[in-house]
Amino acid sequence: MKEVTLKQIAENLGISITTVSKALKDYPDVSKKTKALVKKEAKKLHYKPNVFAVNLRTKESKTVGLIIPEVVHHFFSSVINGIIEQAEKKGYLVIILQSNESYKLEKKQIDLLISKRVDGIMISLANKTVDISHLKRVKELEIPLLMFDKISKMIDCSKVVINDREAAYAATKHLIDTGCKRIAHFRGALLPQNSIDRFLGYKKALEDHGLKYDSSLVYICENVDYNDGINAAKQLLEDHDDVDGIFTITDLAAIGAISVFNEKGIRVPDDISIMGFSNWFVSSAITPSLSTVDQPGYEMGKVAFKQLYKEMKARRKHEDFEPRTIVLETKLIKRNST
C-alpha cells in the first residue's frame, strides 16, 4: 500500500498542495466548496498526515517520557495507569523507561528522552540518584520537567508528592494510640527523600508522645519488599523481646513481617501491632488484614500529567511558568493488624 500524501490528494483534485493542507486544517481563507472536496478525497484515500514531517515542522512530538524505578510494583503501575490515561485524553503518548533504581541508567534514559525530543519528562528518582546534573540539563533545554513521589529538593520544577512526614507521623501515632510503648521502624534506603521523611515522621511522633527514640529499633529494608520485611522481622526477634509495634515503610515489608510472626506463633496485633504504608490491595486480603496509609497512585499519575500538560502548553506559547508542588492527601486505614 502506497502512502497517501498531500501531494497525492492535490494531484487527484488538480489543485495545489498548499490549498489541500489549508483545507484540511480548516483555514478560513479556503472556500467551503474546496474544503468539502479535499476532505472527501482525503477520507476516501484514508489520508493520515505524516507525523515525522509534522514533528519536524512544529518541533513537537506530542510524546512525553516517563522514567520510573520499577514497573512491577503496584504503586508505580497505578501511577503509570493514571498517567497514560490522562495523556491519551490530551492526545499525548507516553514512552516508559525503567531505571531499576540505577543512577547510571537513569542518566542514560534522560539523554535518550532528550534526543527523542519528547515534549516533557516525568520522573520518579532512583534510590541511588544523588547527582542531579542530568536533570539540570533538562531544565536548561527548557523541556518541561515534573518529579513525583521520589523527588529531589535540589531541583526547581513541578512536583507531585504526598506529605510523607505527616503520614508517617499519623501512622506511628496510631500505633501509640492503640497502646504500643516500644515501636520499631522498618525504614527504606538512606538516600531517598521519602524514606528519610517517613523516618523523621516516625521519630517525631515518638518524641511528641513521650516515647524515647532508640536507633537500635530502626531496621533498613533496602528494597522495601517482602523479603526485606521477612529478614528485618527475623533480626528484630533476635535483637529485642519487648517490641510491641512496628511501622514499616511499605505494605510489602509489613506483609513479610506478618508472615514471620504467623509462622512463629506471635499474635498480630495482640503481641505486636503492625502498620504498613501504601494500601496495596492485597493488604486487605491477608490475615490479619493490614492497617496502613493510603497512598493514591492513580491519582498521583493523573495529577502529574495534568500539571506537566499545563507547563507544556505554557512553553508552546512562550509564556512564563511557575513550577508548583502539589501535595496529595493520604488516609489512615485501620484494619486488624493494630
Partner DNA sequence: CTGAAAGCGCTTACAG
In the list a copy of itself, DNA, none, the entry touching 287 (Cβ below 5 to 8 angstroms by class) is a copy of itself
For a copy of itself, how many residues bind (rule: CB under 8 A)? Answer: 48
Which of 69, 49, 58, 60 is closest to 116 using CA atoms? 60
Give the three-state DSSP class for 90.
coil
44 in contact with a copy of itself (CB under 8 A): no
327 binds a copy of itself (CB under 8 A): no
Task: Enter the C-alpha cell of residue 181.
Answer: 510503648
**Which of 29, 140, 319, 322 is the binder for a copy of itself (CB under 8 A)?**
140
Tracing cell 519488599 back to the chain, one arrives at 225
- DSSP 8-class letter at 1: -
Residue 7 CB-density burial (10 A; 0-12 exposed, 13-18 middle, 19+ buried): exposed
Report which secondary-structure segment, H or E, holds 248: strand 245-248
Which segment (30-38, 83-91, 296-304, 314-322) binds DNA by CB under 7 A? 30-38
Segment interacting with a copy of itself, rule: CB under 8 A, options 26-34, 73-81, 174-182, 239-247 = 73-81
- Look at residues 317, 330, 315, 310 and name the one whose alpha carbon lies nearest to residue 158: 310
By a kind-dependent CB cut-off of 5 to 8 A, residue 73 interacts, out of DNA, a copy of itself, none, with a copy of itself
Nearer to DNA, 38 or 253 (CB): 38
CA-to-CA distance for 315 and 149, rounded, in angstroms? 24
Give the number of residues in contact with DNA, rule: CB under 7 A.
Answer: 29
Stretch that binds a copy of itself, among 11-19, 135-143, 232-240, 329-337 (CB under 8 A): 135-143
Residue 7 touches a copy of itself, criterion: CB under 8 A: no
* Cα atoms in the 13 Å half-sphere on the side-chain side of 271: 11
The verdict on 15 binding DNA (CB under 7 A) reads: yes
Among 12, 22, 62, 70, the residue binding DNA under the rule CB under 7 A is 22
Which span (5-13, 116-124, 174-182, 285-293) binds DNA, by CB under 7 A?
5-13
Q: Show the 3-state SS of 257-293.
A: HHHHHHHHCCCCCCCCEEECCECCHHHHCCCCCCEEE
Binding-site ranges for a copy of itself (CB under 8 A): 1, 48-53, 55-56, 59, 61, 63, 71-74, 77-78, 80-81, 84-85, 88, 93-98, 109, 112, 114-117, 140-142, 226, 255-256, 259, 262, 281-282, 285-287
